[in-house]
Amino acid sequence: MMATARLYLDWNATAPLHPAARAALLRAIDLFGNPSSVHGEGRAVRAAIEMARRQVAALVGADPAHVTFTSGATEAANTVLTPDFRMGRKPVAVGHLYRSAIEHPALREGGRFARENTSEIPVTSGGVADLAALDAMLGSHDKESGLPMVAIMLANNETGILQPVEEASSIVRSHGGIFVVDAVQAAGRVPVDINKIGADFLIVSSHKIGGPKGVGALISRGEVLMPAPLIHGGGQEKGHRSGTENSLALIGFGAAAAAAVEEFDARNAAISLLRDRLEAGMHRSAPDVIIYGVDEKRVPNTSFFTLPGLKAETGQIAFDLEGVALSAGSACSSGKVGDSHVLVAMGRDPKLGALRISLGFSTTEEDVDGAIAAFAKIAGRRKPAGQAA
């Protein structure tokens, strides 16, 4: 009996390797030189890394000189979320971190700030950062403690809801603060331009766009004001992140970024239609399904939903048994399925639970139709209201 092909619909957790990234990795596998060496072998690797730096910069409209490669978005977050900054050689104190209630755990933990020096920016019931609250919080910031820092993600990893980062940037600038934007789920899915956003720092990740895991970047708008390094040593990455670069992964990251730029319009138009097809199909078989963010701007690939009468853990297992891979919120918590802090922040009952389907560059209509069929089967097996699923 032939095994049924599984459907991978968990792209916000990680994307399969893009063919362009795979090809780049295979071409680069024999580039063995140390990129800090001055001989020909070292220079060849250095040239490949600098090409990757230009490709990643182009993904977000940045200057390649302002791209600092890291081991991933989590390291980038821990690097920039610090009270210790430098303006040239002069130390600059950052007194308090204000981060939205729906941030990814990598930023929600506050990086190198003490707990008492972090505050949470509330969000509306629609899952959007409350800018009036942000303005009020910054208005009462203790300037004697140092500059304020604000961290608001561009696209939420669970709901896909886009945040008003350009408006937030204006507020942060008016209060003399530093603005950090997590663009991990947005890069390659919506237009991202660090200068248009007005972010001082952007965070991006390779494996969310079809590159290898274990590599990301902290991208700055300038080089005058920079965080004190998290990792010290040989002075690689202009001293901002020491350690011999993972050249193979960086080359794959660059290729994935270049593919995201080249394919942007066609890819996201197709994915948006697939997401709409999916949600229409879910509504047909379960009119009571709750899809979060339908009245807000979202990235085109994400659908975050609650099926009343079905717990998130039960639903995730049920879909897996039907051959569909999806998530119950963030996939960066060692496989744990707990209450969604995003739903809590939106004022929703977290006990309802929610599931996330996220699509990508190789998702097809057949994949979506398969997910709709699985959804219909699972929805039909729900217990009557008042009984546990």
Runs of H (alpha helix) within 175-311:
194-197, 247-262, 264-285
Place of tokens 């274990």: 214
Cα separation, 77 vs 201, in Å, equals 10
Cα separation, 108 vs 119, in Å, equals 10
**Could you tell me the pLDDT band of residue 1, with boundaries at 50, 70 and 90?**
very low
**Could you tell me the pLDDT band of residue 72, with boundaries at 50, 70 and 90?**
very high
| Range of lowest pLDDT (52-61, 74-83, 266-275, 379-388) | 379-388
The model's pLDDT over 258-275, given as tens digits with 9 standing for 90+, comes to: 999 999 999 999 999 999
Q: What pLDDT does 160 receive?
A: 97
**Could you tell me the pLDDT band of residue 349, with boundaries at 50, 70 and 90?**
confident
Q: Which amino acids are annotated catalytic?
A: 332
Start-end of CATH 3.40.640.10 domains in the chain: 22-262
Q: What pLDDT does 337 receive?
A: 56
Domain 22-262 has CATH 3.50.50.60: no
Burial classification of residue 331, based on how many CB atoms lie within 10 Å of its CB (0-12 exposed, 13-18 middle, 19 or more buried): middle
Cα separation, 46 vs 31, in Å, equals 10
Q: Is the pLDDT of residue 326 over 60?
A: yes
The model's pLDDT over 94-143, given as tens digits with 9 standing for 90+, comes to: 999 999 999 999 999 999 999 999 999 999 999 999 999 999 999 999 99
Mean pLDDT score, 302-318: 93
Q: What pLDDT does 88 receive?
A: 87
**Could you tell me the pLDDT band of residue 329, with boundaries at 50, 70 and 90?**
low
Burial string for 115-153 (b: 16+ CB within 10 Å, else e) reads eebbebbbbeeebbbbbebbeebbeebeeeebbbbbbbb
Cα separation, 214 vs 203, in Å, equals 14
Domain 7-16+265-380 has CATH 1.10.760.10: no
Q: Is the pLDDT of residue 183 over 50?
A: yes
The model's pLDDT over 11-35, given as tens digits with 9 standing for 90+, comes to: 999 999 999 999 999 999 999 999 9
Mean pLDDT score, 302-308: 96
Least Cα distance to 247 among 36, 104, 18 occurs for 36
Runs of H (alpha helix) within the chain:
19-28, 40-59, 73-80, 105-108, 131-139, 165-174, 194-197, 247-262, 264-285, 312-321, 341-345, 365-380
**Could you tell me the pLDDT band of residue 350, with boundaries at 50, 70 and 90?**
confident
Q: Is the pLDDT of residue 355 over 90?
A: yes
Predicted model pTM? 0.94
Place of tokens 């089967």: 377
Distances (CA, A) of 83 to 92, 146, 216, 253, 384: 8, 8, 22, 29, 52
Q: What pLDDT does 4 receive?
A: 63
Average pLDDT for the chain: 94
**Could you tell me the pLDDT band of residue 335, with boundaries at 50, 70 and 90?**
low
Does residue 148 sit in helix, strand or coil? strand
The model's pLDDT over 373-387, given as tens digits with 9 standing for 90+, comes to: 999 999 998 865 444
Start-end of CATH 3.90.1150.10 domains in the chain: 7-16+265-380
Structure-token pair, residue 353: 């639970």
Q: Is the pLDDT of residue 194 over 60?
A: yes
Q: Is the pLDDT of residue 328 over 90?
A: no
Q: What pLDDT does 2 receive?
A: 41
Structure-token pair, residue 318: 């049920």
Structure-token pair, residue 37: 């060496």
**Could you tell me the pLDDT band of residue 334, with boundaries at 50, 70 and 90?**
very low
Q: Is the pLDDT of residue 45 over 70?
A: yes
